[in-house]
Amino acid sequence: LAQFEQQAAENGNRVHFASDGDAMNSIVLDICQEHRAQRIAKGKSMVTEETGLNDYLQRAGLSVMETDLGEYIIQQAGETPSHIVGPALHKSAAEVRELFLSRHDLGERDLGEIADLVGEARLVLREHFLKAEVGIIGSNAL
């Protein structure tokens, strides 16, 4: 970790250490508030799932959007991931279609095929991603 911290600093980054999940959540919120960020694009991270970061940031008034397709589906359904690699593995295409119909303003778009569902998610996620002021990602190795 010391080597990672040194190399990160040499590349213009700052490393934060947290004693537990609550401390980590607080550090992330402080960074967001320091930069006056309201919209967050979040990649898949099991650590943030364990610490409840999304709920913590949302309670502070921030908008957090999962950008991994499976995590996005689960977030929209108000559920927790069912699998570490495939968080929405338990959802059928019909269930995802019904979820998107209830949560998205579709206009004239049709969601009859799986490709349509993926395209719909891409539209929604791309918009949020481009407007996000902060990005949060997980890391399996440093």
Res. 106 pLDDT band, cuts 50 70 90 = confident
Q: Which segment of 19-23, 66-70, 72-76, 81-85 scores lowest on mean pLDDT?
A: 81-85
Question: In the predicted model, is pLDDT for residue 108 greater than 90?
Answer: no
Task: Name the pairing type of β-strands 39-42 and 134-136.
Answer: parallel
Q: Where are the domains of the chain?
A: 38-136
How many other C-beta atoms lie within 10 A of the C-beta of residue 72? Answer: 20
Q: How far apart are CA 41 and CA 66, in angstroms?
A: 6
- pLDDT tens, 1-55? 899 999 999 999 999 999 999 999 999 999 999 999 999 999 988 899 999 999 9
% of the chain with per-residue pLDDT over 90: 77
The pLDDT of residue 141 is: 72
> Order of strands across the sheet with 63-66?
63-66, 39-42, 134-136
Look-up of token digits 């006056």: 36
